[in-house]
């Protein structure tokens, strides 16, 4: 008899890694989505410089979550990849274009034309990556067609009206994270522009949140049973999400700088926890739990030792990078 449930421990580690990635990479994807609408090129410089020192560290959490899934729950890969090849490819392509733009936009030797090219790469890559992530989440909510631990659906089964909505919803949510981050990191007319965008983006998030909340139990019977069978527990999370939305509105209207960003993180955190609670313990819905999808205990234990050694360093590096580059980013100043 095992002293510890290794599958549960790995599920918590991977869940934590995915949550950290969404919270920490969401705002720089959001800035990319907002890039075409910025007031001028100086504003775009500030937007990019506000995340340039930390964006690559944020990607560490994506690597941790992806590698952990492969090592601890190989069935997830054997089902998800055939089902989501196109969506995953779009996400990775978007992240690559965005990453290249970070490094080359400030080094362009082709003047304004070169800047426009890398602006397009940064904004387009961010938008595509964000949409793909939202579509993948929508597909996970819908579930997968599997037989004998094998995906039996088609390559475009992931693309439905519901996943289109979740894709757009993540894009708008990331854009809201971007504006509240810019409120925190900028000043003057750039900060005022971010303040003006926050309320309409928040309203759009509220509308899409409501539609998805109504639609989700209709596309997945399991979620219907979970929501309405445990109403006294699970509805706390949507209530906290709505409270976070109100806090964003209240704080941004009163000119707070830190609270809008913290409250927007709360929107994502409570929505994420609501998704986890709705689907737990199915990691490949609707048929396979975390224990069904787990690798051998010996493999999980061996890899767990390495992860528990590395994780504190990742947490320290993340905290330290944000601490070192704290404060406002001004026009003409920055990381580059």
Question: For residue 141, which of 218, 254, 40, 242 has the smallest C-alpha distance?
Answer: 218
Looking up tokens 């810019």, which residue turns up?
Answer: 182
Q: Which helix (H) or strand (E) holds 152?
A: none
Is residue 275 classed exposed, middle or buried when 0-12, 13-18 and 19+ CB atoms within 10 A define those classes?
middle
The segment with the largest mean pLDDT, out of 100-109, 223-232, 235-244, 287-296, is: 235-244
Looking up tokens 């387009």, which residue turns up?
Answer: 124
Strand ranges for 141-289 from DSSP E: 146-147, 150-151, 282-284, 288-289
**215, pLDDT greater than 80:** yes
Q: What is the dihedral of CA 275, 284, 24, 180, to 10 degrees?
A: -40
Average pLDDT, the chain: 83
Instruction: Give, as one character, the DSSP assignment of residue 287.
Output: T
Q: Give per-residue pLDDT as tens, 47-74.
A: 888 887 777 777 778 777 777 777 788 8
Is the distance from CB of 42 to CB of 330 less than 8 angstroms? no
Rounded Cα gap, residues 192 and 140, in angstroms: 38
Q: What is the pLDDT of residue 1?
A: 38
Give the pLDDT band of residue 152 (cuts 50, 70, 90).
confident
Q: Tokens for 92?
A: 């990775």
Is the distance from CB of 181 to CB of 50 less than 8 angstroms? yes
Q: Give per-residue pLDDT as tens, 237-270.
A: 888 889 999 999 999 999 898 999 999 999 999 8
CB atoms under 10 Å from CB of 80, counted, come to 22
Question: For the residues 191-203, what does the mean pLDDT come to?
Answer: 93
pTM, full prediction: 0.89
Q: Between β-strands 288-289 and 282-284, what pairing exists: parallel, antiparallel or unpaired?
A: antiparallel
Looking up tokens 């320290």, which residue turns up?
Answer: 316
Residues recorded for the chain:
336
């Amino acid at each position: 008899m095992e002293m510890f449930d290794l599958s549960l421990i790995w599920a918590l580690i991977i869940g934590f890694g995915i949550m950290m990635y969404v919270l920490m990479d969401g705002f720089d994807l959001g800035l990319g989505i907002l890039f075409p609408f910025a007031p001028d090129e100086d504003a775009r410089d500030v937007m990019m410089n506000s995340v340039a020192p930390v964006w690559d560290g944020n990607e560490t959490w994506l690597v941790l979550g992806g590698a952990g899934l492969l090592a601890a729950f190989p069935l997830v890969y054997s089902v998800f990849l055939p089902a989501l090849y196109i969506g995953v490819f779009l996400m990775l392509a978007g992240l690559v274009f965005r990453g290249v733009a970070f490094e080359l936009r400030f080094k362009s030797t082709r003047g304004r034309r070169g800047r426009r090219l890398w602006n397009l790469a940064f904004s387009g890559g961010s938008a595509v990556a964000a949409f793909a992530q939202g579509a993948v989440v929508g597909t996970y909510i819908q579930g997968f067609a599997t037989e004998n631990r094998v995906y039996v659906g088609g390559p475009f089964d992931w693309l439905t009206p519901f996943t289109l909505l979740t894709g757009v919803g993540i894009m708008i949510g990331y854009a809201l994270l971007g504006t509240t981050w810019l409120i925190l990191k900028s000043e003057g007319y750039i900060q005022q522009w971010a303040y003006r965008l926050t309320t309409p983006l928040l309203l759009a998030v509220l509308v899409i949140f409501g539609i998805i909340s109504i639609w989700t139990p209709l596309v997945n019977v399991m979620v219907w049973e979970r929501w309405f069978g445990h109403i006294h527990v699970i509805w706390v999370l949507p209530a906290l999400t709505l409270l976070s939305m109100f806090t964003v509105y209240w704080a941004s209207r009163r000119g707070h700088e830190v609270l809008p960003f913290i409250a927007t993180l709360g929107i994502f955190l409570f929505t994420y926890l609501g998704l986890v609670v709705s689907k737990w313990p199915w990691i490949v819905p609707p048929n396979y739990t975390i224990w069904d999808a787990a690798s051998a205990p010996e493999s999980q234990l061996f890899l767990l030792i390495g992860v528990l050694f590395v994780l504190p360093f990742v947490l320290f590096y993340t905290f330290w990078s944000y601490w070192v580059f704290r404060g406002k980013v001004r026009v003409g100043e920055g990381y580059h």
